[in-house]
Amino acid sequence: MIIKAGDRMPAGTFSHMTAEGIRKISTEALFKGKTVVLVSVPGAFTPTCDARHLPGYVDQADALKAKGVDTIAMMAVNDVFVMNAWGKQAKVADKILMLADGNGEYVKSLGLEMNATAHGMGMRGQRFALVVKDGVATHVNVEAAGDFKVSAAEYILGQL
C-alpha cells in the first residue's frame, strides 16, 4: 500500500554517520514531536539528485526551517558511507540529515520502491518528498517517472 496524506509513518530504522561513527535512528526518534521533510532520491550522486535535488534543499534549508521544519532528511537506497560522502561533497553540514536506507526496507514499507534493474541500480526508492508532522504524513509528493517538480525544495516550501 502506498502512503498517503493522513497516514501514520511506518516504523523503521535508518543509518547515518555521526562524529562518533555509524548510528541508527528510528523513525520514532526522527518524527516524534517534529515537523520533518523526508526526501527520497533514486541514488546519491545520480545526475538530477546531485545537480538539483540535494542542492535545492541545501539552498532552501533556512527558509524551510523558518516555516517550522525541524529536520530536513535526505534518504536513498545507498549505504551509509555513500550518503556520508555525498553530504560532505554537497556541503550539507548540519542543514540536512543524510539517511541510508541501505536495503530499501523503508521505501518498501512506504510502497514507494522502484525497480531500476534495467539501469544496473537494483531496487531503489522513487523520487519523493513527504512533510511529516509528529509521525503523520501531511503532504505526499511523488514524482512521475523522469520528473523533478513536486519533490523540489521550492515546491515543498510553497506547501508550508
Q: Is the pLDDT of residue 71 over 80?
A: yes
pLDDT band at 159 (very low <50, low <70, confident <90, very high): very high
What does DSSP assign to residue 49? Answer: I
The whole-angstrom separation of Cα 97 and Cα 27 is: 13
Name the residue among 101, 42, 99 with its Cα closest to residue 72: 99
* Mean pLDDT of all residues in 17-27: 96
Active site residue 136: no
Segment 19-24 shows an average pLDDT of 95
Give tens-digit pLDDT for 73-132. Answer: 999 999 999 999 999 999 999 999 999 999 999 999 999 997 767 776 657 789 999 999
- Mean pLDDT confidence for 2-9: 97
For the domain made up of 13-159, give the CATH fold: Glutaredoxin (3.40.30)
Residue 69 phi, psi (nearest 5): -80, 125
Q: How many residues are present in the chain?
A: 160
Q: Residue 69's pLDDT is what?
A: 98
Q: What is the pTM of this model?
A: 0.94
More confident residue, 148 or 9: 9
Say how far apart CA 80 and CA 76 lie, in whole Å.
Answer: 9
Which stretches of 44-148 are DSSP H helices?
47-48, 54-66, 80-89, 105-110
| Predicted local distance difference test score (pLDDT) of residue 1 | 79
30, 44, 49, 142: the catalytic one is 49
Q: Which three cell numbers stand for residue 134?
A: 509528529
Cell 525497480 locates to 115
Does the structure show a pLDDT above 90 at 146? no
pLDDT of residue 98: 97
pLDDT, position 49: 64
List pLDDT tens digits, range 34-58.
999 999 998 888 767 676 789 999 9
Strand ranges, E, within the chain? 13-18, 21-26, 35-41, 71-76, 97-100, 113-115, 123-125, 128-133, 136-142
